[in-house]
Structure formats: structure tokens, C-alpha cells
Structure 1
Amino acid sequence: MDSQDVQADLKHVLFTKEQIQTRVAELAAQIDADYQDRDVLLVGVLKGAVMVMADLSRALHSHVTMDWMAVSSYGSGTQSSGVVRILKDLETDLMGKHVLIVEDIIDSGLTLSWLRANLMSRGPASVEICTLLRKPDAAKVEIDVKYVGYEIPNEFVVGYGLDFAEKYRNLDFIGTLAPHIYE
């Protein structure tokens, strides 16, 4: 799905498909260099990180294993609720593993802070974070993020895995919705 398919729903496009692919490749190169000669477990956070995880894993030049976790602090609105629920837990034992959490976006940081602490309690060798987008102005907690694709303003965004009420995830770009969609 591209911008022509949802033109009436859009306010503007922040990052094109090409810009996203270029930045994901740059992140993969950094990760390859940092994890040289170490096995990495990519932990994708469902549902939003599906696109990032797929493209990032394909851009890496080293073997990785993958697992998925689903946590939620959003309803169908545009603001984090602050309450974290595990909807799907990992199937992989983290003991002694180098874990890289792959996220689509970091808003307040509350969910990710909780998730990182939860995974650290499982005995991994390390836990780092890779996110495509981060909203520094929305941060409510300080969280160390090793790999950041883009920092963006505190606007609600959709596309490339990010949704509004489960729609717009399959856009091949990232953009903002026109106010009439969510008001």
C-alpha cells in the first residue's frame, strides 16, 4: 500500500520507502560490526516491529535467531495507557544470550523500560535496543537505546508496521494522519 492509496487520510509523509530501507541498512551495518563473532537473538515486539524486524534481519550479514513478544500499553487511541500487558511471551530461553530488542517506535519509553527489565531478569549476557523511530519529546523515562533510525517530533505516525486502530500498518512509508481520521 502506498501514499496514493490513502492520500485523503494523510497529513504528510515523514519517511519514504527508500529512506527507510537506507536507514535500516545502516543500522544493520552497525549491528553487524558491534556483534561480530557473537550470536544475537533478535526479539521483535509485535505487532508494530514486524516490518522493521523483517527488513533488519535480511539486511544483516551474520546469522541471527529470532523470537517474538507481544506487549501492549495502547488501546485504539493515540496515547500510551501506561499499563503493560504481556500478550505473547518468548519461546526462547535467554540465559547467556545477546538479546537485541527490535522496536518500531519509542514514545514515552514506559513499555520498553518495563520490557527491558523483564528480559534482563531472565539472565541474558546483554540486552540492547534497536528502534526505527524515537520521540525524545514524549519520553517519560530515560532509556538507553543503542540503535535509533530516526528521531521524530511528538506526532502520531502510521505506516511500516505502525497503526491507528489496526489500520495503516501495511503502508510502505511512515506518515502522519489527517486530523479528521482520529478526532
Structure 2
Amino acid sequence: MTPDHISLHNKQFEPYLSAAELQAAIKQVATQLNQDYAGQPVMFVVVLNGSFMFAADLLKEVSLPCEVCFIRVASYQGTNSTGEVKEVLGLTEDLKGRHVIIVEDIVDTGHTMRMLLETLGKQQPASLEVATLFLKPECLQHELALRYVGLSIPNDFIVGYGLDFDGLGRNYPDVYKAV
């Protein structure tokens, strides 16, 4: 049962997207990936920490031969993007000549994604795409060609389903927005 509100670090949140709505969006992204990469091996690069739930559910729906690896980057402090991206945990896999999909929980300013696309692109993958559960189009500060977007949402601060507020809130199966 979904609580009618949650409190994290003295900030209030109300229900925004249900687990069922999230799963429908994830299935749509997986269907598109399965069609676009039919029969081709794919390397999924999952951006931690926020993408862990999305990645787990997305990969359950993907029927492609695939590998999964993880990278950790940080660009948030509290509810705001710092505008500065720091790579915390690097990628050790060789991406040259491979089809690579970056799995991200949310793209808002685009700073993190721009840095990741530039960094991973230097390894000369056969293709490099992004699969994001959420996109905040009005926040984008960089032009990004995003082919796999689960949901476009307004500029609300959200938590749950892997997304956090200073470490709390990732464990909720639904998504909540700040009140």
C-alpha cells in the first residue's frame, strides 16, 4: 500500500507515480531496445546509485544477449545539481566496437550524461545510447539525443524507486514528489 505522504530529512513528499506506471514505462523502453538491437549483444552500463532499481527491472524485460557493468558518478548535493560531475567509480570493461547502452535513472540538467557520453565515446563503441527512466526536458542545459526515455516529467524533485534525497527514499517502489 502506498503511503499518502512521506517525510525525508524534514521535507514532505506526496505520491506521484505508482509502481504499475513505472513498470509500464520500463516495458516500453525494453520493447524498443529489444527491437532496435534484435540478436545483437549489448553492454549495459548502469549508473549507480540511483539506477539500480530501474536497471534490475529493465534487464528482466530485455531479451538480448547482454553484459552489465556499473559506473558511479556524483553531481547532486541535497535537492540541487552541483553542476560539477565527479567520476567516483570507473569503468574497467573495453567498449571498443560494442553496442553500449547507458542506463540512467533521471536526466535533468544533462551534465552527467554529457560527461558520460564524452568519456565512453572515447572508447569507440559501435553505438552509444542512453536509456533513462525519467527526463526533465525543461531542465536540460545540453543538447542530448535520448532515444530511450521511459517518462518525460516536469521539474519536480522526486524520490523513490532508486532516487534519493541525501541518501533516503531509494527503497520505495513508487515515486513521490516534493510538496
TM-score under structure 2 length normalisation? 0.93
Counterpart in the other structure of 2:74: 72
Partner of 1:3 in structure 2? Answer: 2
Q: What is the RMSD of the two structures over their aligned residues, measured on CA atoms? A: 1.3
Q: Structure 1 residue runs of 4+, over 2 Å off?
A: 6-12
Q: Which residue of 2 aligns with 1:96?
A: 97
1:132 is aligned with what amino acid? Answer: L
1:79-117 C-alpha deviation (Å, 9 max, x unpaired)? 111111111111211111100000000010011011111
TM-score, structure 1 as length reference: 0.91
CA shift in 2, pair 1:81/1:8, >3 Å: closer
Partner of 1:49: 51
| Mapped partners of 2:39, 2:64: distance in 1 | 9
**Alpha-carbon distance in 2 for matches of 1:8, 1:20:** 19
What secondary structure sits across from 2:80 in the alignment? coil
Residue ranges of structure 2 left out of the alignment (5+ in a row): none
2:136 corresponds to:
135
Equivalent residues, number: 175
Measured in 2, the distance between the counterparts of 1:114 and 1:52 equals: 21
Q: Secondary structure of the equivalent of 1:171?
A: coil
TM superposition shift of 1:37: 1.9
Distance 2:161 2:154 in 1: 17
When residues 105 and 8 of structure 1 are mapped into structure 2, their CA distance, relative to the original with a 3 A threshold, is closer
CA distance in structure 1 between the partners assigned to 2:74 and 2:6 by the alignment = 29
Question: Greater strand percent: which structure?
Answer: 2
User: How much identity, in percent, do the aligned residues show?
Assistant: 36
Cα distance, 1:8 vs. partner? 4.2
AA aligned to 2:176 is G
- For 1:128, the aligned partner's letter is E
- Of 11, 14, 22, 1:12 maps to 14
**1:128-176 alpha-carbon deviations (Å, 9 max, x no partner):** 0010000011111111111111111111100110000100001101111
How has the CA–CA distance of structure 1 residues 157 and 8 changed in structure 2, closer, same or farther, with 3 Å as cutoff? Answer: closer
Bigger proportion of residues as helix: 1
